Amino acid sequence: MSNDATNHFVPVAAELLDVIVETPTIRTFVLRPARPLRFRAGQFVQLELPGLGEAPFTPSSSPQEPERIEITVLRTGLVTDALHRLEPGARLGLRGPFGRGYPVRRFPGQDVLVVGGGVGLAPLRSLLHHLFADPQSARRVSIQYGARSPAELCFRRQYDDWARRDRVTFRATIDRPHDDWDGHVGLVTTLLDDLDLDPATTYAVSCGPEVMLKFVAWKLRDIGFPAERIYLSMNRSMSCGMGLCGRCNIGPYYLCKDGPDLCYADIEDIPYALG
């Protein structure tokens, strides 16, 4: 594998340093690329398992640490099953980064609402790293996160740290009551009913299952958010990463080039954009 920084067809070699078990089906893979892999929060990479294939993932680590990339993976198929069996020392490949990333240049002086579901908190975690690194990057940050059960809540080791930060609020919910949970119960959209945020001065960013994105977008519109202030992370069906294979288009947009974080104003009127 080559270290060619200019050829996005050629993967950069990376060593697997550690595997962090997040939930029974989600693991975070800590990688050291052969050269620093600089990316913006929200951009994605193609992670290659030599001899088997590759799949797109958005790093969950800090963009300020390009020499150490964390990728959080839900076990869902052939490549992800094989990844979950890997141990430190394994050799992988990384292509990218691809996509535009989150519109962080719009955030200074504004509040930022982060809405995540399940493993969808992983790309948003990279955004949180960016926002926490610079107090001027946003006025306030509100994190609203949901999963089906307590066992499926990702990054639980960090919740207390997030909640203790100045100008940051954090709330988590699970879909149904559970003996091991005494917090909020209900879909993540129920956390949006009593936000202490002005939609006119807040940008909302959401990532999770596509059906969740649909209802989050509808809920945000119902409570007064302009479509221009809603961004949805739509990490689906991306293959080549460069708009050549035509698998990831939504209307005139290619998720790998124009996204994967699309402004809702651009897709609100496209039939079946969110399933």
Same domain, 196 and 220: yes
Q: Identify the pLDDT of residue 237.
A: 66
The C-alpha angle 215, 219, 224, rounded to 5 degrees, equals 150
What is the value of pTM for the model shown? 0.93
Domain boundary among 42, 76, 98: 98
Q: Identify the pLDDT of residue 273.
A: 85
Q: Identify the pLDDT of residue 7.
A: 67
Q: Identify the pLDDT of residue 217.
A: 97
Task: Quote the number of domains for the chain.
Answer: 2
Taking alpha carbons only, the member of 127, 8, 25 closest to residue 143 is 127
Q: Identify the pLDDT of residue 3.
A: 41
Separation CA 275–CA 270 (nearest Å):
10
Same domain, 146 and 166: yes
Domain boundary among 55, 78, 98: 98
Mean pLDDT by 10 residues, the chain (275 residues): 56 97 97 96 94 92 97 92 96 94 96 97 97 96 97 96 96 96 96 96 96 96 98 78 75 86 94 82
CATH number, domain at 45? 2.40.30.10
Contacts of 226 (CB under 8 A, 6+ apart): 199, 200, 265
Q: Identify the pLDDT of residue 188.
A: 98
Contacts of 81 (CB under 8 A, 6+ apart): 75
**Which segments of 134-275 are extended strands (E)?**
140-147, 168-174, 184-185, 202-207, 230-233, 249-250, 253-254, 261-263
Same domain, 109 and 88: no
> How many CB atoms lie under 10 A from the CB of residue 196?
8
Q: Identify the pLDDT of residue 9.
A: 76
Q: Identify the pLDDT of residue 98.
A: 93
If DSSP codes are grouped into helix, strand and coil, which group holds residue 69? strand
| Lookup result for tokens 């639980």 | 156
User: Does 263 reside within a domain?
Assistant: no
For residue range 117-171, what is the model confidence (pLDDT) as tens digits?
A: 999 999 999 999 999 999 999 999 999 999 999 999 999 999 999 999 999 999 9
Q: Identify the pLDDT of residue 4.
A: 42
Same domain, 154 and 130: yes
Q: Identify the pLDDT of residue 2.
A: 39
